[in-house]
Each structure stands twice: as C-alpha cells, then as structure tokens.
Amino acid sequence: MIAAREKHDTYLSSFLELEKGLPGRGNDWIEKIRRDAIERFAELGFPTTKHEEWRFTNIAALAATPFEPAAPVEGARVAGQLAQLPFAEIGCPRLVFLNGRCTPELSDPLPAGVKAGSLRAAMAEGSSVLERQLTRYAHFQKHPFAALNTAFMEDGALVEIARDAVLEKPIYLLYVSVPDGRPAVTHPRNLILAGRGAQATVIEAYLNLGVAPGFSPAPAAVQGAAAMDDAGLKPGATRQACFTNAVTELVADEGALVNHYKLEQESESAFHVATLVFHQARSSTVNTCTIQFGGKLVREEVRNVLDGEGAESTFNGLYVISGEQHVDNHTTLDHAQPHCASREFYKGVLDGHAHAVFNGRIIVRQDAQKTDSKQSNKNLLLSADAVIDSKPQLEIYADDVKCTHGATIGQVDQEAVFYLRSRGIGLEDARSLLVQAFAGDIIGRIKYEPLAAKLRSTLVGRLAR
C-alpha cells in the first residue's frame, strides 16, 4: 500500500481511490505500469529548487494546490463556446479533448492513411500496439511529472500513420480545459507512430474554454452569444487555476518525415507541465516547433533520440510572456548514431516581471561520428524587471563532429527604432514592428500557413497589451 506523504499525498490518495476506474483495468501490463509509476512518484516527490534541473523554477504553488481530477464534459454543452476560441478551427481534421477526454461529437473524420482515436478506447481494448510502444520512450524513473502522468493516464490520442502515407493536411489534437469552479488536473497522453516513409504534420494545442489571453471574439463568432471581455472571459467569470500534465511520445520510422507543432495558450492562472519525447530511425526527419503564449507557470521538456544513421531534426521554439508569467524550456538532442544532423532555434520575448529559463543540451555519443549540430537561444527583454536564465550545453564523446551553440540576451535595437522613426513611424509602432520581426522568424518556420497566420495575429495581440 502506498503511504500518503507531504505535499503529494493528494495524488497518492487519489490514485488509490481512482485506480479501479482507470482504463485498462484487467490488462496486467497496464496495471503494472501504473503501479510502478505511482510508486516512483511517491519516491521522487515534487522537485524543488534544490534539484539542479529545477533550480530556476519554483513549483511550490503548484504542489500546494489541491487539484482534483477534471470532470467529464459533454461536447454539446460547450460547442458554442468552443467555436469562439481563436484556435478552435485551423482548417484541418481535428480530434477534440475536453478536460482530457476524447469528444467524438466535436471531432472530424480523418483522411485515408491515418488511424487516430481515443487512447482510452485503445487501452480498454487491450491494443497490442500500446503494449509494444506506450511508455517505451517517455521514461518516468527520473521524471516525477512523467511518472504522475503514467499513473493517471486516462485518455489522449493514439495516432498511427500508415507506411508511405502522405497526409495533405495536419492532424489537429485540440485539448481544452473547461472550468467547473474548482482547481482541476488533466493528464493527457499521446502516442504518435509514423510508419516507414510516411509524411505527416501533427499539431497539439492546449487552451482554456472562456479564456483566450489577448483576444476578443470576432463579431461574427459571437452573434447571439454572451459578451466577453478582452481576455475572453464572460462577465462575472473568474480565472480558475488548472493544471495540465501532458506527455507525448512520437516515433518516426525509417525515412519518415514528421512536422510537429505545439501551442500552449492557456490562461495566465494555469499550470502546464509537458514532456515531449521523439525517437527517430534511420534517415527520418522530425521538425518540431513549440509556441508558448499563455500559462502562469509552464515547464516543457523536449527530448529527441536520433537513433538511426542519417536522421535529421530541427527544434524551434518561441515564448512571448509578460506580467508574472514563468516559462521553463529544457531540451535534449541525443545523437546516438553517426551522420545525423540537428538544428535548434529558440527565441523569447519577455515583458513585465516575466521569467524564462532555457536549458538546451546536445549529447553526441561515442559512436555518433560525423554529427552536425547547432543550437541558438536569443532573448529580447522589453522590461528592466524581466529575467532570463539561459544555459546551452554540449556533451561530446566523439572526435569527428561539428557542433556549435550560443545564447544572446538584449533589448530593442535603438538604432533600428531611430531609423523607423525617421521614416515617420511612431515610437511604439516602431518597437512593435521590431519585436514582431524578431519573434516572427520562428513563426515563419511553421509550414502550415493557416496556423502560422493565426499565430502572427496572436503575436500582434499580445504585443498590443
């Protein structure tokens, strides 16, 4: 029996109460994984600033909040409100998850060549694919939040892209938290498998219903609906703390090409912790881009193992934060085989008292000769009170490699501002244009234009706040 202890006793007690109702009951391998994961979480507990990997990120407020499992939500009840969210529709097939659960009535049919659906249903059916692949890549032995997700995983997306399939449009995994008056937690779990030679784009988005920072619904979208303020809240509504603890595992088979984009646009009272793990086979390509606009505290760990000769990977990231927001990005590019290449470009824009952390790690294993890897982190501080802690790292155990890394922190170029003002552009407009150009470089790397266009609009809205 697991003994409840200290600040994580709520989760341990909750597991004992909910275990019998979690999907996969009766499947020995799922039950064992859950028990191993909760036992490991009990041993690890929540990390503190005394842990090296967490020394710039204090999660005391998250650990002290008594989050309860989010309640299921009927799609019909919130369909109208969902349609008002800026990223509800981006012109491609979507799978909608309300409070972490798949909602078929709000989801779209998927194209040929892809099989996608509820992880909950697959666990209930005892899917052999899950038994072979689930939790194989996102290890929880050293990661307490991954352990917590594994113990409580209830639903998410299982996406299987067939061999040599070429998908013309992305698959959109839309996660929406629906407030119900109490602090609630969800543990989304995604498993994405791209077959040999497949080409596909997968988009993950995490939003709050009724909360869209920096947005007002378009007039056409709110006809007949209750008015909302400029933060997307209905009159009289209050911001509610919510906690999303997500894990995504993506496997690219030999020769596969996968573009993965993730948007975090939750309310500024939300906690978001995410683990993204990629595993690449020979000659595969994975391009990923993370955009972070929302959240009170956001921590994302992205890890990629280039485990096949000739694999290529690109990590792109953008965080635009203000006020008291805190964003922490930890990335690891693990070159395990020779002749692999990786590029990493992360940019940040910070205003107010915002605090960002970037820890980028490149590992080149002993046998990974002819590795070509570059890493860059650039940050723009719009306020004297904003703080960035940047730590690029190289760990090289091979002798025939080409690796570089670097980080910069600065303010808006005053000479460029003067140049624009000399052309008749006002001071604030000049500063905004320069910031948009700085951040827009990352958005421009997103190859799906409908998403990129909405992100550019979002960026303008945030900078105008």
What digits encode the pLDDT tens for the residues 306-362? Answer: 999 999 999 999 999 999 999 999 999 999 999 999 999 999 999 999 999 999 999
pTM for the whole structure: 0.91
Tell me how far apart the alpha carbons of residues 321 and 327 are, in angstroms, rounded to a whole number. Answer: 8
Q: Is residue 393 part of a domain?
A: no
Task: Give tens-digit pLDDT for 401-416.
Answer: 999 999 999 888 787 7
Query: End of a domain among 244, 278, 308?
Result: 308
- CA-to-CA separations, 312 to 24, 189, 252, 307, in angstroms, rounded: 36, 25, 11, 10
Instruction: Give the model's confidence band at 6: pLDDT under 50 very low, under 70 low, under 90 confident, else very high.
Output: low
Separation between Cα atoms, residue 47 and residue 34, nearest integer Å? 20
**Residue 219 pLDDT level (bands cut at 50, 70, 90):** very low
Q: Which residue has the higher pLDDT, 94 or 230?
A: 94
Q: How confident is the model at residue 4 (pLDDT cuts 50, 70, 90)?
A: very low
Rounded-to-integer distance, Cα 202 and Cα 198, Å: 12
Closest by CA position to 152, among listed 103, 186, 124, 192: 186
Question: Picking from 132-136, 234-238, 320-324, 367-371, which range would have the lowest pLDDT averaged per residue?
Answer: 234-238
Residue 230 has pLDDT above 60, yes or no: no
- Considering the domain architecture, whether residues 296 and 427 belong to the same structural domain is answered as no
Average pLDDT over residues 197-218: 73
Tens-digit pLDDT profile for residues 445-455: 999 999 999 99
Query: How confident is the model at residue 220, as a pLDDT?
Result: 31
Q: Is residue 75 part of a domain?
A: yes
| Structural domain includes residue 107 | yes
Nearest by Cα to 266 from 286, 247, 240, 284:
240
User: Does 265 reside within a domain?
Assistant: yes
Last residue in a domain, options 277, 308, 339: 308
Angstrom distance (rounded) from CA 462 to CA 465: 5
Q: With 70 as the cut, is the pLDDT of residue 5 above it?
A: no
421 and 292 both lie in a single domain: no
76 with 202, same domain: the answer is yes
Identify whether 226 is part of a domain: yes
Asked whether residue 422 is domain-assigned, the answer is yes
Q: Considering the domain boundaries, does residue 403 fall inside one? A: no
Of 281, 308, 335, the residue that ends a domain is 308
Residue-number span of the structural domain to which 460 is assigned: 413-465
Give the pLDDT score at 103.
96
Whole-number pLDDT of residue 210: 60
